[in-house]
Chains A and B, each alone.
Chain A
Amino acid sequence: KQEVTQIPAALSVPEGENLVLNCSFTDSAIYNLQWFRQDPGKGLTSLLLIQSSQREQTSGRLNASLDKSSGRSTLYIAASQPGDSATYLCAVRLLGGGGGADGLTFGKGTHLIIQP
């Protein structure tokens, strides 16, 4: 069974710092990995999607990397801003197999606070 772990569970940093959020997964047979942002009381907003054949994706101040063989992904946030405060979730989609495996398996998230 795929397990996804995110470290740290919570992080508080001053505005302007660069930071890295970590995600690890136990089964490397994945289609892709997706990073989401969730604001309190809201749904999930997709940030970046990395296909299994890719090593990284970039969008603005965000860069996500994927090392499938080691079962790891990182989300790098450059020049953090108070508006980046949210919970960040990573999710992996397994190669077929049924039993819910065609869905996404989520980590429990990293709660990020950027101090003004």
Chain B
Amino acid sequence: GAGVSQSPSNKVTEKGKDVELRCDPISGHTALYWYRQSLGQGLEFLIYFQGNSAPDKSGLPSDRFSAERTGGSVSTLTIQRTQQEDSAVYLCASSLAVTRGAFFGQGTRLTVV
């Protein structure tokens, strides 16, 4: 596609439920990032995929969070047993290479009630 696509754009879920957020990066981009932006806060790095290398998971806040990237393209961020503090906008970005600019999707706004 022309840009990074994220779905759903909005998600409301009950506390304790699992959610999956999807990211379709720009075709050919080998690097893919997930960030979280809480209300009034800056962007928080979550996880980074680069080609076929093992992902950098150093930003994941707890073991309830996981992400995978299939076939070097689409990525899914999964949050298990959601908590209210997980409410945030989850942003995905991709780049052609580490030295190139990053391009962001419109984000998924997650609300845990």
Segment at the B interface, from A11-19, A31-39, A73-81: A31-39
B4: chain A residues within 8 A (beta carbon): 43
A100 and B48 contact, Cβ closer than 8 Å, known pairs A43-B104, A43-B106, A44-B104: yes
A89 and B43 contact, Cβ closer than 8 Å, known pairs A42-B106, A43-B107: yes
Please determine whether B101 and A49 come into contact, CB atoms closer than 8 angstroms.
Answer: yes
In the bound assembly, the distance between CA atoms of A104 and B105 in angstroms comes to 15
In the bound assembly, the distance between CA atoms of A107 and B42 in angstroms comes to 7
Q: Which B residues, 38 to 88, have Cβ-Cβ distances below 8 Å to chain A?
A: 41-43, 45, 48, 50, 56, 58-59
23 sampled A-B residue pairs with Cβ under 8 A: A32-B101, A34-B102, A41-B109, A42-B107, A43-B4, A43-B6, A44-B91, A45-B104, A46-B101, A46-B103, A46-B104, A49-B101, A89-B43, A91-B43, A93-B98, A98-B56, A99-B56, A100-B48, A102-B31, A102-B50, A106-B35, A106-B42, A108-B42
Please determine whether A102 and B43 come into contact, CB atoms closer than 8 angstroms.
Answer: no
In the bound assembly, the distance between CA atoms of A44 and B48 in angstroms comes to 17
Q: Chain A residues in contact with chain B, CB under 8 A?
A: 31-32, 34, 36, 41-46, 49, 51, 89, 91, 93, 96, 98-100, 102-109
Give the residue name and chain of the B residue nearest to A36 (CB).
B104
Please determine whether B48 and A103 come into contact, CB atoms closer than 8 angstroms.
Answer: yes
B50: chain A residues within 8 A (beta carbon): 102
Number of interface residues of B (CB under 8 A): 27
Q: Mark B2-13, 1 if CB is under 8 A from A, else 0.
A: 001010000000
Of the listed residues A44, A49, A102, A106, the one surrounded by the most CB atoms of chain B closer than 10 A to its CB is A44
**The 6 A-B residue pairs with the shortest CB-CB distance in the complex, in nearest-first order:** A49-B101, A44-B104, A108-B42, A43-B106, A106-B43, A43-B104
In the bound assembly, the distance between CA atoms of A34 and B99 in angstroms comes to 11
Q: A91-B43, A108-B41 are in contact. List 16 more A-B contacts (CB 8 A).
A: A31-B98, A43-B4, A43-B104, A46-B101, A46-B104, A49-B101, A93-B102, A99-B58, A100-B48, A100-B56, A102-B98, A103-B45, A103-B56, A104-B93, A106-B42, A106-B43
